[in-house]
Amino acid sequence: MNGEPDLLVGGTWSHASDGGTREIINPADGSVAATVDEATADDARRAVSAARTTFDAGTWPATPVAERSALLARIVDLLERDKEALARVETLDTGKTLVESRIDIDDIISVFRFYSQLVGVEADRLIDVGDPTVISRVVREPIGVCVLIAPWNYPLLQMSWKIAPALAAGCTMVAKPSEVTPLSTIAFVRLAEEAGVPDGVLNLVQGSGAVLGAALTDNPDVDFISFTGGLATGRTIAKVAAEHVTKVAVELGGKNPHIVFADADWESSVDQVLTGVFLHSGQVCSAGTRLIVEDSIADDFVAELANRAEKIRVGNGLDPASETGPLVSEQHRAKVEAFVELGISEGAKLVAGGTRPSDPALASGSFYRPTIFDRCDRSMRIVAEETFGPILTVERFETEADAIRLGNDTEYGLAAGVRTSDAARGERVVRALRHGTVWLNDFGYYTAAAEWGGFKKSGNGRELGPTGLAEYQEIKHIWHNTAPKPAGWFKGD
């Protein structure tokens, strides 16, 4: 960054082959946070080739599990050492508050710690085939060369969900962060190198997906692609990968319902609906952007939400007084503003926000006020499409069946929340919702030990948990006959 080479291929740091660079903009004030190398398609192909050569050499895949576990543990130690510096980089890059960035680093530490421990206790599965002379076992082996593509909203956190299990499994990889927010991933890869990741195991390129995408995904040397991002790009990757029969896991966002029944605890519901949608200015794939509230409390509930939303302190993420930061870029704010205009044109009732902040101190940043639309319905695009910004839409229901129907009436299925004091009803509703994660009387929390992913167009495959490691492994059945003898099948004359 800022003069240092930022591409890591085969253990060597280098500049982009054509000398290209990109300015990374701090969305809080429009200043240049850093200038980084912008990789070319040739750079990306070299990175894949380096990962292929390293994997095929066999040393890293054959590294004992205990050594791989110890490597992840050393990464944990270095993450803890550099937590504050990494959090600051993340805030400069994404705009989120420093408090959020620190939480992200804590979560990243938890992910590496979990996989360090999990891979160390995995064991082969022995199968009794009814013959004492046969040893039949199922073993796990690394899947091979992995391409890891992370989004701009949680750059290092989402990348850690991929790198940690890939390293634990014994894979080699090419990491490509978003070209908008690559700084924390670059810093992490240097940290991983310090921890002792062997040359060629973890390769890094950053740049435009339009330039690098085909070189990384339309490539017969790649065994597995893990992508987190938009639906359109995910579809393209899946189609291209299918030509090579490359395995793919894609997490493609969501339009997540937050269902509030009349008997729910009032204070925690108001608070967590606001947090669920306006944290990181709504730039969260699992944000609770659709409030589905029981009609008998809806007017009062929405009025309270609007009142509190207007008081949320929007500001620079490095300012301790800020409660939420800017949008990631001017371009993204323009998309959010277009959605707000669309909501108004569709007849939704704007009850909070809907404009940029008036504070002159924020004029140079990509800020937008928390926005709430009441009186929405499923015919509106503002309700159906992922806005990825600080926009909450409000729908109303009268019966439990209505709530479930509305909650499932989306092409996505990533996450959902349910709030009720009736435990039996809560269990019925969470079981009926077709979403990968469902929170009951809570919202937004997760653990590295539990799988994360969605139903329907939110994607396929899972990250985190034991399944998140299994994505990076192949299963092999080994049948060992310890007393071989002729089968005697073909008798001849």
Phi/psi at 169 (5° precision): -75, -20
Instruction: Assign 48 to helix, strand or coil.
Output: helix
Phi/psi at 118 (5° precision): -65, -45
Q: Which of 159, 7, 182 is nearest to 92 (CA)?
A: 182
User: Beta-carbon neighbour count of residue 184 at 10 Å?
Assistant: 29
Instruction: Assign 63 to helix, strand or coil.
Output: coil
Among 251, 323, 386, 463, the active-site one is 251
Q: Give the homologous superfamily in CATH for domain 7-252+463-478.
A: Aldehyde Dehydrogenase; Chain A, domain 1 (3.40.605.10)
**Range scoring the smallest mean pLDDT among 47-51, 361-365, 478-482, 484-488:** 484-488
Per-residue pLDDT tens digits for 178-202: 999 999 999 999 999 999 999 999 9
* Summary mean pLDDT of the chain: 97
Instruction: Note whether 349 and 325 are within 8 A (CB).
Output: no
Q: Tell me how far apart the terminal alpha carbons of the chain are, to the nearest angstrom.
A: 77
Cα 154 → chain centroid: 7
Per-residue pLDDT tens digits for 161-172: 999 999 999 999
pLDDT at 491 (0 to 100): 85
The yes-or-no verdict on residue 3 having pLDDT over 80 is no
Sheet with 12-14: strands ordered across: 12-14, 7-9, 202-204, 172-176, 145-149, 224-228, 247-251, 459-460
pLDDT-derived band at 380 (thresholds 50, 70, 90) equals very high
The yes-or-no verdict on residue 2 having pLDDT over 70 is no
- Rounded Cα distance, 149 and 209, in Å: 9
Instruction: Assign 477 to helix, strand or coil.
Output: strand
Instruction: Note whether 22 and 39 are within 8 A (CB).
Output: no
- Rounded Cα distance, 138 and 125, in Å: 5
- Rounded Cα distance, 79 and 81, in Å: 5
The yes-or-no verdict on residue 493 having pLDDT over 90 is no
pLDDT at 264 (0 to 100): 98
Per-residue pLDDT tens digits for 131-163: 999 999 999 999 999 999 999 999 999 999 999
Cα 158 → chain centroid: 4
pLDDT at 123 (0 to 100): 85
pLDDT-derived band at 492 (thresholds 50, 70, 90) equals confident
Cα 217 → chain centroid: 18
Structural domain boundaries in the chain:
7-252+463-478, 257-440
Fold agreement (7-252+463-478, 257-440): no
Residue 251 catalytic?
yes
Which tokens belong to 185? 């991933």
- Rounded Cα distance, 87 and 336, in Å: 26
Mean pLDDT of the region 323-343: 98
Exposure b/e, 371-388, CB count within 10 A at least 16 = b:
bbbbbbeeebebbeebbb
Instruction: Assign 148 to helix, strand or coil.
Output: strand
Environment class of 479 (CB within 10 Å of its CB; exposed 0-12, middle 13-18, buried 19+): exposed
User: Beta-carbon neighbour count of residue 120 at 10 Å?
Assistant: 15
pLDDT-derived band at 21 (thresholds 50, 70, 90) equals very high
Mean pLDDT of the region 225-238: 96
Q: How far is CA 19 from CA 14, 35, 226, in A?
A: 10, 12, 28
Per-residue pLDDT tens digits for 386-407: 999 999 999 999 999 999 999 9
pLDDT at 1 (0 to 100): 63
Q: Which of 144, 125, 147 is nearest to 136 (CA)?
A: 125
Residue 386 catalytic?
no
Mean pLDDT of the region 230-256: 95
**Range scoring the smallest mean pLDDT among 120-124, 200-204, 335-339, 450-454:** 120-124
**Domain 257-440 belongs in CATH node 3.40.309.10:** yes
User: Is-above-0.85 flag for pTM?
Assistant: yes
Among 146, 171, 285, 376, the active-site one is 285
Per-residue pLDDT tens digits for 262-282: 999 999 999 999 999 999 999
